[in-house]
Structure 1
Amino acid sequence: MLTSKAIWLSLGLALLAVVQLVAAQEWPFATEETESFPDLYEVSVLELQAGLDAGQFTSVDLVKTYFARIEEVNLQGPGLRAVIEMNPSALAEAAALDLERLTSGPRSLLHGIPILLKDNIGTIASEGMNTTAGSYSLLGSIVPGDAGVVKKLRAAGAIILGKANLSEFAHFRGNLASGWSGRGGQCTNAYYPMADPCGSSSGSAVAASIGLAAVTLGTETDGSITCPADHNNLAGIKPTVGLTSRAGVIPISEHQDTVGPLTRSVSDAAIVLSVIAGPDPNDNFTLAQPSPVPDFAQALNSSALCGARIGVPRQMFLNATISGIDPSVMVAFEAALETMKAMGATIVDPADMPSADEIALSNNETIVLDVDFKVQINAWYQSLLYNPSGVANLSGLIAFDDAYPSLEEPTGYTDQSILIESEATTGFNSTYYQALAFDKDLGATRGIDAALSMYGLDALVLPAGGYTTVPAVPLGFYPSNVTIGSAGPNTVYPAPGVPFGLSFFASAFSEMKLISYAYSYEQKTMTRLMRKAYAYPSTQLVDIVGK
């Protein structure tokens, strides 16, 4: 969750004991002299699969290498604090999947691929990891089982590498810096010292940006995938609410929460989305999605923008200017529009949403989220099989934070105003239902859907920062002379060299079309490759394989 100002884009958007057994197998490794290993800073899922299939390296090698990479930069060196904990079962799981690859072949394109999960995505406690949303009030708690998306990842053969840091409770605690949690500390951007990573999927994004995992998962309620993608030079997909299961994910709101990928390329994001999308009987919102689940990799068409009608909702820039969109972002955005024109797209500019002015002033999202969070977080605490903190509900959480200030309220990170505001709500009353209905009217009926219809558009496009849009792809980097701003007690934004992104959006369940546009633009520009992070690990597969 970023801010309470973009419900319109949240509601209707389309956008992985047997170690010795495996070690005894004869692996057809190529020698270091005859075959180079892929660079884990930029390697794709397909490249990893090719190396695994060829026997150049194993999933055990991958896990060891990613663990070493995390150790280099997480708490040591630049201290990025992107990862809260690593999976103690990951090596055994990788060994089992390596053996399965030898005996029966890979299950999917994610077979043996290490994935980091945002720490609000539930995993079985017996595996050895916590699920805490960054809060000590949930440390040591036992969830009933894996989250729905984790079940799908495991079925596909993915390896859960660990849990990524996040803005505590998905940035639904108070006026705190993005990327901070009690358990994880302050996560920071890898592109400039102490730069804002954006949130709440901060650790997932920072980890993906410099290859601390093959791919990562984040969650979004309002900007928490797209803004981290924007700030960290990534492709991120915020799926339509109900395309991916939220069962077993620490909630904010069932009406806005969604789970999606943060990756270095649109192709990797499409591969991951194809695995985690689909119905889940434990999340009834997913039962309303179109069937069958698409293979989103089929959307990877580098010519997709040719003939597409893309609209620019200019009125949003007037509202964005008030909150301080940087001129350098707008320069890059205008250049992107020209690039799309050259690729054969028709740019309709302006193509404003009728509700644009009302969206900027609406407080309805806050009403809905406050009510939903209290109801759903109370249900989460009650669902736990065990919780050593004793916290059983939202009021208990607030009291816990006050009782343990050294853990949960260090200097600069004391605020609990959102929790307190949510605790004061009284449930699903007429005000709540009116706000919910009005949000849909603003976001869909008189918002996105209206603009698409009025101007005969295939999609809309905006700079990604601050907007809940899908998917996000790299657009550019702040210039060296940008004025450095404060983003919290210990973080800065903007800052020299920090990335920013571009987002396409349309009606609900338009992911296939939107992925195709994002891929087309990405392949034409390859913006991600124009600048490397200042902080990144040096360990590579060559340092691990055969050692």
Structure 2
Amino acid sequence: MTLEFPSNNQVVGVGQPLPDLLYATIDDLQLGLAAGTFTSVDLVKAYLARINEVNSVLHAVIETNPDAISIAASLDTERAGGSTRGKLHGIPICIKDNIATLDKMNNTAGSFALLGAIPPSDSTIAAKLKAAGAVIIGKCNLSQWANYRSSNSTNGWTSRGGQTMGAYYPMQDPSGSSSGPGVVSSLGLAAAAVGTETSGSIISPSSRNSLTGIKPSVGLASRYLIVPISQTQDTPGPMTRTMVDAAYILSIIAGQDPYDNYTSAIPFETIPDYAAECNSEGLRSAKIGIPRNAITVSSTNGPEITAFNASISVFKQLGATIVDNADFPDLAGYMNFSGGSYTTDPVVGADFVVDVANYFNEMTTNPHNIKSIQDLINFTETYAPEDYPDRNIATWLNAASLNVTMGDANYYAALLEQYYYGSNATILGALEKYDLDALIIPSSMSPGYAAIAGYPIVTVPLGYYPASTNVTYNSRGTLVSLGPNFPFGLSFYGRRFSEASLVKYACAFESATNYRQLKNPYIIPNIQLIDVM
């Protein structure tokens, strides 16, 4: 085979380009698969080799699927017979280790408490991904229990998987809780990844790993057999290198599910083709607001603010009308609202007490016979690998001691209050008052408002901290919390179930800027398709 290495980071063989897996999109991979240039088996082998190459440093993958190659081979056979299932046919992806699969992989939220537990079936979204032809090659590491355990742990740490680190600076805090999916997708350790969010867990690691990410409206995608925190706030979503790839995945995982009654609120019968309107014209005639009173300037976030302000001219050039100072109407009320932090929110705490018990009790095999939050507390306090008491269980203790029970009057009063502060007081209030299609805000400031009312967020890359940035460490001294080349993003807010519009706007902005391509990670796997073919 004659090889050449052209300037566009592609390796050419057998007359067709082999895409560089650091950059490859789902469409790139489908072109190669359709042309017979490579197979799904080749892709799986290449991605598994890339994981093996860097995982000892970054700890982004908690385990890989021992059946991935045989699954890919069966999908190659389908393709050879003239049948494909769509955009994800034969595409290797990695999912967060709180999304259950009924196969040879575990689903543990990073804890030994769930190691060996067997669910009654695939989670709904895993089943949808498999039915669409995706090859789930592994489970991504995360912040343990999706960051709902400790007040003194670190983003990306689990007892099972160790400490995930970002790839843009040595010892980079990857953000959380979908830390592993962020690193996996950014480095091309899989074609794409799926994470989950309660408050910030898709948007923040997507932003910190220079990715696009979609935190869907609560209820757009089923949470059945995803290790829960809160049924009022949890939602799964894609974390990818391009907006189109995220849109492909969202169209597959979205939809009603009888096992998740929140999905009955979906206001349309047919799930949109979210990628259909991804083009450079998507912002033309859009009316976009900026909630200035929610944008805070600190001693360290200057580069983000500067880049955000500079982006306004891009929106205008793309045909959008910008309404500056489209402020949240009751930001002061939100700031005084005691339920804004999901680790102390009484609604989230009451949800967790019930929802985590229900999850354990649905397992067909429950090795440690955990049936309640108290059982989980007892296990964690006595099982040394869980790193207690060095990493505490303060969040669980708070939830277990609440004077609020799911379904009682105090619960519903608190729920109504948080819905108000996440909608009319903030996002929805600004959208309605100024007659807007969407809002934009730096991604580092976006999650909390949308979390408590179940509103969607879409984030896209916006830039990187300069090389002169001072290195600062987390409280444990184990991660760099801010440093040179750290990525950051821009977020779009919209009304519930307005993802089609938000994706359209984000696609246009991404197409005009392509900020992800400005900097590469400091550590990049060397393995490419040619090495396994």
TM-score computed with the length of structure 2 as normaliser: 0.93
Would the aligned equivalents of 1:120 and 1:131 in 2 still touch at CA under 8 Å? yes
Q: Once the 2 structures are TM-superposed, how far is the Cα of residue 361 of structure 1 from its aligned partner? A: 2.5
Distance 1:488 1:83 in 2: 25
1:129 to 82, 100, 105: 105
Find out whether 1:84 has 2:62 as its counterpart: yes
CA 1:488/1:190 → structure 2, altered by over 3 Å: closer, same or farther? farther
The secondary structure found in structure 1 opposite 2:488 is strand
Would the aligned equivalents of 1:111 and 1:158 in 2 still touch at CA under 8 Å? yes
Equivalent runs, 1:115-154 vs 2, <5 Å = 115-124=93-102, 127-154=103-130
Distance 1:330 1:151 in 2: 41
1:236 corresponds to: 213
Equivalent runs, 1:277-426 vs 2, <5 Å = 277-289=254-266, 290-317=268-295, 320-321=296-297, 326-365=301-340, 366-405=345-384, 407-409=385-387, 413-425=390-402, 426=404
Distance 2:43 2:317 in 1: 41
Equivalent runs, 1:407-486 vs 2, <5 Å = 407-409=385-387, 413-425=390-402, 426-428=404-406, 429-468=408-447, 470-486=457-473
The secondary structure found in structure 1 opposite 2:480 is coil
Q: Once the 2 structures are TM-superposed, how far is the Cα of residue 367 of structure 1 from its aligned partner? A: 1.1
1:53 corresponds to: 34
Q: Once the 2 structures are TM-superposed, how far is the Cα of residue 371 of structure 1 from its aligned partner? A: 0.6
2:246 corresponds to: 269
Q: Percent identity?
A: 43
1:493 to 476, 481, 500: 481
2:513 corresponds to: 525
Equivalent runs, 1:155-170 vs 2, <5 Å = 155-170=131-146
The secondary structure found in structure 2 opposite 1:123 is coil
2:164 corresponds to: 187
The secondary structure found in structure 2 opposite 1:503 is strand
Distance 1:321 1:224 in 2: 22
The secondary structure found in structure 2 opposite 1:36 is strand
What is the letter of the counterpart of residue 431 of structure 1? Answer: N
The secondary structure found in structure 2 opposite 1:438 is helix
Would the aligned equivalents of 2:346 and 2:414 in 1 still touch at CA under 8 Å? yes
What is the letter of the counterpart of residue 496 of structure 1? Answer: P
1:64 to 25, 40, 45: 45
Would the aligned equivalents of 1:192 and 1:533 in 2 still touch at CA under 8 Å? yes
Distance 2:303 2:44 in 1: 39
1:506 corresponds to: 494
CA 1:31/1:216 → structure 2, altered by over 3 Å: closer, same or farther? closer
The secondary structure found in structure 2 opposite 1:260 is strand
1:13 corresponds to: none
What is the letter of the counterpart of residue 482 of structure 1? Answer: T
Would the aligned equivalents of 2:98 and 2:109 in 1 still touch at CA under 8 Å? yes
Would the aligned equivalents of 1:171 and 1:200 in 2 still touch at CA under 8 Å? yes
Would the aligned equivalents of 1:223 and 1:466 in 2 still touch at CA under 8 Å? no
Return structure 1 stretches of 4+ with deviation > 6 angstroms.
Answer: none
Q: Deviations over 1:31-78 (max 9, x none)?
A: 825333100001000110111111111111111110000000001xxx
The secondary structure found in structure 1 opposite 2:238 is strand
Q: Quote the RMSD (CA, aligned, Å).
A: 1.5
CA 1:241/1:325 → structure 2, altered by over 3 Å: closer, same or farther? farther
Distance 2:15 2:284 in 1: 42
CA 1:167/1:31 → structure 2, altered by over 3 Å: closer, same or farther? closer
The secondary structure found in structure 1 opposite 2:181 is helix
Distance 2:412 2:37 in 1: 57
Distance 1:107 1:153 in 2: 11
The secondary structure found in structure 1 opposite 2:168 is coil
Give unpaired runs (5+ residues) of structure 2.
Answer: 1-10, 451-456
Bigger relative contact order, structure 1 or 2 (CA pairs below 8 A, ≥6 apart): 1
Q: Once the 2 structures are TM-superposed, how far is the Cα of residue 344 of structure 1 from its aligned partner? A: 2.0
Would the aligned equivalents of 1:364 and 1:436 in 2 still touch at CA under 8 Å? no
1:539 corresponds to: 527
Would the aligned equivalents of 2:195 and 2:237 in 1 still touch at CA under 8 Å? yes
Distance 2:400 2:212 in 1: 35
Distance 1:535 1:259 in 2: 28
What is the letter of the counterpart of residue 125 of structure 2? Answer: V
Q: Once the 2 structures are TM-superposed, how far is the Cα of residue 443 of structure 1 from its aligned partner? A: 1.3
What is the letter of the counterpart of residue 372 of structure 2? Answer: N
Would the aligned equivalents of 2:92 and 2:136 in 1 still touch at CA under 8 Å? yes
Q: Once the 2 structures are TM-superposed, how far is the Cα of residue 488 of structure 1 from its aligned partner? A: 4.2
Distance 2:182 2:305 in 1: 23
